[in-house]
Amino acid sequence: MTDKPAPYTIVIGLETHVQLQTATKLFCGCSTKFGAPPNTQTCPVCTGHPGTLPVMNRRAFELSLQTAAALNCNIATYTKWDRKQYYYPDLPKGYQISQYDLPFSYEGWLEIGDPKGKFEPKRVRIIRAHLEEDAGKSMHDEHAGKADSKIDLNRTGTPLLEIVTHPDLRSPAETKAYLTELKLLLTHLGVSDCNMQEGSLRVDANVNLHIETPTGKVATPIVEIKNMNSFRAVEKAVAYEAERQYSVWQETGKKLGDPGVFKQTRGWDDTANVTRGQREKEESSDYRYFPDPDLVPVTVTAEQIGAVRQSLGELPAQIRTRLEVSYGLTPYDSDVIVNQGRTFITYFTTAADIAGDGKTASNWLQQDVLRVMGERNLTIESYPVPAAALGDLLKRVRAGEVDTSRGREVLQRMFDTNETAAEAMQALGIEQVDESALMALCEELVAANPKVVVDVKAGKMQAAGAFVGQAKKKNPNANPARVRELCLEIIAKLP
């Protein structure tokens, strides 16, 4: 893509399926744990045996309510279950229990922004969020004409929340920002682990273009993109699809609503970096939805909805604002910290409160703590230096007890030995050098380096760096900035 403004607007809407973190499935008692041997987490109910009946998992419904409340959705006081009917081997009942015309929540929004300011903050409107059961997995082995398929029903019946947006997104960057913010919200609430590799978060994107032409605005046919396995893939797929649709439009002039033009489904090929046509929907499939007579409608009182909204606590967007207002962080810094999750946020605020400065704490957390966590594959929970200990170290750095570079050595020692900042500093022999001793040292250095003095006098201020290096050798505790200052003062007084 070039930086030249495109001659069109990309219009994107997302359907996101999120697996809820319940211990058991939506309508039976089977475990939802990922990775078990095929068909070991099944029972007569989720494998659709004759005579079996579904019973709703209350926990899944509670998690759904929390999510809907956090997405600013209206919550229905009456909701029901519908059967969506189609045949596929990984759908053992021949229908999926879902919600059709009365989803439990609707009309919400999620605010997105870009900390680097690539786009204006905006509210992405949510059409609806509904609860449904997941299907199983089909594995097709189609080599040498001996088509063979295997079905794993472990996933069948796992609770899924489907969140559908209005076509409010206008760029790959906005699309990625929405998904990042959604994932942050869901993991913050603990309703899903949003692991795309394990399929706990799956995204389909509906994309088309609005093109300005001399005769007015035209829209290209809508394409649904599937098979995107990472946020990066979504970003790339949307960008690719925009360019593809534009060149197809230039070639054919086909518009949305033209006779013979239908909604198309395309799959993202992550190695070739292209979307490939899967099928044209000549007419929308007839799923013959009807209310599931095996389940009773769910009613929720206004008091229950109020209690859910009350229980949400501070959400990521509010935490970002708090970090910016109370700790003086930039939107970029608050975004990095909040994206690390609840424990990291608490770690930050604890360290910052003791250090007495949010900016310093934020810098150290990003440059030192996150770096080491990445290198050593640690989580903040397993990072050995307690927040209070780091805060204490940072307080000493700010007070000049130890300079930044030696401070890093102290942190390293605290990491290795679990010592406090004071213990580590003592072990490293760090102590404040008395001002008169420092002055004596500097006078000695100036006297010993006549060439440097000449250079400095000639205006080559950087030559003074030599004093710092030599001072460190003579006394590692000498504060480099102070040494430089004192040496320059002495030279200035020389005739």
Contacts to other proteins by CB under 8 A: 44, 47-56, 83, 85, 87, 89, 92-95, 147, 151, 286, 288, 290, 293-296
Bridge-based pairing of strands 290-291 and 82-85 is antiparallel
Read off the DSSP letter of residue 75. E
* Least separation in angstroms between CB 104 and other proteins: 16
Q: Which tokens belong to 312? A: 């949400």
Residue type at 204? D
> Which one, 285 or 405, has the nearer CB to other proteins?
285
Residue 344 CA, chain-centre distance (Å), reads: 14
Cα 377 from Cα 90, distance rounded (Å): 37
Smallest separation, CB 128 to other proteins (Å): 20
Q: How far is the CB of 20 from other proteins (least distance, A)?
A: 19
Between 145 and 429, CB nearer to other proteins: 145
Please, what is the minimum distance in Å from the beta carbon of residue 227 to other proteins? 20
Nearer to other proteins, 87 or 429 (CB): 87
Residue 240's CB: how many other CB atoms inside 10 A?
20
Q: Which ranges constitute the DSSP H helices of 283-341?
A: 302-311, 316-327, 331-339
Of 53 and 447, nearer to other proteins (C-beta) is 53
Residue 46 or 163 having the CB closest to other proteins: 46
In the complex, the smallest distance separating the C-beta of residue 351 from other proteins, rounded to whole angstroms, is 49
Nearer to other proteins, 47 or 192 (CB): 47
Say how far apart CA 400 and CA 403 lie, in whole Å: 6
Judged by beta carbon, residue 154 or residue 245, the one nearer other proteins is 154
Query: How many Å is the maximal CA-CA distance in the chain?
Result: 104
CB 276 within 8 A of CB 267: yes
E strand spans, 80-121: 82-85, 95-98, 105-112
**C-beta of 53: minimal distance to other proteins in Å?**
5
DSSP string, 155-212: STT-EEEEEEE-S-B-SHHHHHHHHHHHHHHHHHHTS----TTTTSEEEEEEEEEEEE
Structure tokens at 287: 């799923």
Q: Please say which residue, 140 or 451, places its beta carbon nearer to other proteins.
A: 140
Residue 202 to residues 21, 96, 256, 471, 481, Cα–Cα distance (Å): 15, 17, 26, 59, 53
* Count of positions (residues) in the chain: 495
Taking the least distance from each CB to other proteins, the nearer of 44 and 253 is 44
Least spacing, CB of residue 92 vs other proteins, in Å: 5
First-to-final CA distance of the chain: 63
Could you tell me the smallest distance in angstroms from the CB atom of residue 294 to other proteins?
5
Q: Smaller CB distance to other proteins: residue 154 or 362?
A: 154
Closest to 10 measured CA to CA, from 354, 243, 291, 166: 243
CB of 299 to other proteins, least distance (A): 14
Q: Is 345 left (phi over 0), alpha (psi -120 to 50) or beta?
A: alpha
- Closest approach, Cβ 94 to other proteins, in A, equals 3
